[in-house]
Amino acid sequence: MTALATPGPQWFATWLECVGDFGEEFRHGSGESMVPQFGPDRRSFNRLLDVVRVESGVAAPPPTGRVACDYFWVTQGPTMIGFLALRHSIDTEFLRTYGGHIGYSIRPAYRRQRHASHALGLALPLARDLGLEAVPLTCDDDNLGSARTIESQGGVLENVIDAKRRYWIDL
């Protein structure tokens, strides 16, 4: 069964497998772009856990140019199969236009099994708990799997900007 797990040190071995399965593909929702010189290794993993703690904390404002964000690892039992980020706001031009409130990715070996739809479905009540009434999400215009995932959770296409489909899901 698909679940959202809080990132933590106990996930290192399966995180390493998950990142390896993605290869060079960008891992949406992972937070790893905030880790300088990211590599699938223990040092990067520990730095990623630091990023997760800093960005999800509401006690202090996030770093300049960033927004508060809760990171989750998509799991199936003891296996990590992807990433999901739930941003508390979209207070940057990039997020308003190209990102949205929720970003996710599922590792290649687990795609086409509805894990992304289930993970997104699990994130929507959490977005509502943040006080959000609707959330925008985006995907590449040619990513029909992600488009179907968003639509399966009530996403309504608003427009396409720079080859990015922009959807809204009412909560």
Instruction: Report the alpha-carbon distance of residue 130 to residue 125 in Å, rounded.
Output: 9
Cβ neighbours, 10 Å, residue 169: 22
Of 33, 68, 35, the C-alpha closest to 54 is 68
Which helix (H) or strand (E) segment holds residue 115: the answer is helix 115-129
Phi, psi dihedrals of residue 12, rounded to the nearest 5°: -55, -50
Instruction: Report the alpha-carbon distance of residue 57 to residue 141 in Å, rounded.
Output: 33
| 8 Å CB contact between 132 and 115 | no
Token reading at 3: 């679940």
Q: Which amino acid is at 95?
A: L
pTM of the model: 0.93
| 8 Å CB contact between 103 and 92 | no
Q: Of how many residues is the chain composed?
A: 171
Which helix (H) or strand (E) segment holds residue 104: the answer is strand 102-106
Per-residue tens of pLDDT for the chain, all 171 residues? 999 999 999 999 999 999 999 998 989 988 888 787 788 899 999 999 988 888 876 666 776 777 889 999 999 999 999 999 999 988 888 888 888 999 999 999 999 999 999 999 999 999 999 999 999 999 999 999 999 999 999 999 999 999 999 999 999
Torsion of CA 135, 157, 122, 85, to 10 degrees: -60
